[in-house]
């Protein structure tokens, strides 16, 4: 499979433009200009990193991630759609009231920036479909990679909706709340859904997303 190369600076600008057009500044109670200034320092990191893209394989070189303190997870999910779809994403009601806030980054997945950061060398992780999530996390750790947090998974979906397809959805093991639940994004009712699965239960359609690192 041939990877499509691209201009990293142009790709970063596209990601910023997508977030602005979706309404991230309004949700964050910022002007479009102030939002642009918030994320602008990350552009140099994106250009220096470079890379190539293979959306069919679910691999992208970097993703611009906005912290939940700037744009809450529920609001960010409502701004997602499937590739070619129209129905907005949603948070599953299996998250009892107040529980989503308790799903925070594990130590190895803590973001380097308080308001925004870049996620690098991202993989959707369909190789882990039908694997026990804990086993997938162990393999990712041995590769010196890191699982994605909820915010990072939502950012990946927002900026690259092509990566979420039937039978190639992904868990987000970088956010945990101290129990056996692992957040995940999959397709439900023709829309993206943020839910969770048990760390010991495999699913044929659910892999484990990971990244090579983060920078701010």
Return the domain boundaries, the chain: 4-215
- Note the pLDDT of residue 207: 97
pLDDT along the chain (216 residues), means of 10: 69 98 97 97 95 93 97 97 96 90 94 93 97 97 97 98 96 96 96 96 96 95
- Note the pLDDT of residue 3: 47
**E strands within the chain?**
4-5, 52-53, 59-66, 90-91, 104-105, 116-123, 146-147, 169-171, 175-176, 181-188, 191-198, 206-208, 210-211, 213-215
Q: What is the value of pTM for the model shown?
A: 0.95
Spatial distance between the Cα atoms of 45 and 204, rounded to a whole number of angstroms: 36
């Amino acid at each position: 499979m041939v990877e499509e190369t691209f201009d990293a600076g142009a790709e970063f600008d596209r990601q910023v433009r997508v977030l602005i057009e979706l309404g991230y500044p309004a949700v964050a109670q910022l002007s479009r200009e102030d939002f642009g200034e918030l994320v602008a320092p990350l552009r140099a990191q994106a250009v220096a990193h470079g890379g190539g893209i293979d959306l069919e394989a679910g691999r992208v070189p970097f993703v611009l991630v906005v912290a939940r303190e700037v744009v809450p997870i529920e609001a960010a999910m409502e701004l997602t759609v499937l590739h070619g779809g129209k129905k907005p994403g949603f948070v599953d009601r299996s998250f009892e009231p107040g529980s989503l806030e308790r799903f925070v980054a594990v130590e190895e997945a803590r973001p380097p920036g308080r308001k925004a950061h870049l996620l690098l060398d991202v993989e959707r992780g369909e190789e882990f479909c039908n694997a026990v999530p804990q086993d997938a996390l162990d393999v990712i750790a041995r590769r010196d990679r890191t699982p994605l947090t909820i915010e990072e998974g939502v950012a990946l979906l927002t900026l690259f909706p092509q990566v979420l397809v039937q039978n190639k959805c992904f868990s987000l093991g970088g956010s945990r709340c101290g129990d056996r639940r692992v957040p995940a994004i999959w397709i439900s009712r023709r829309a993206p859904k943020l839910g969770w699965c048990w760390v010991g239960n495999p699913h044929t359609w659910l892999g484990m997303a990971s990244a090579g690192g983060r920078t701010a």
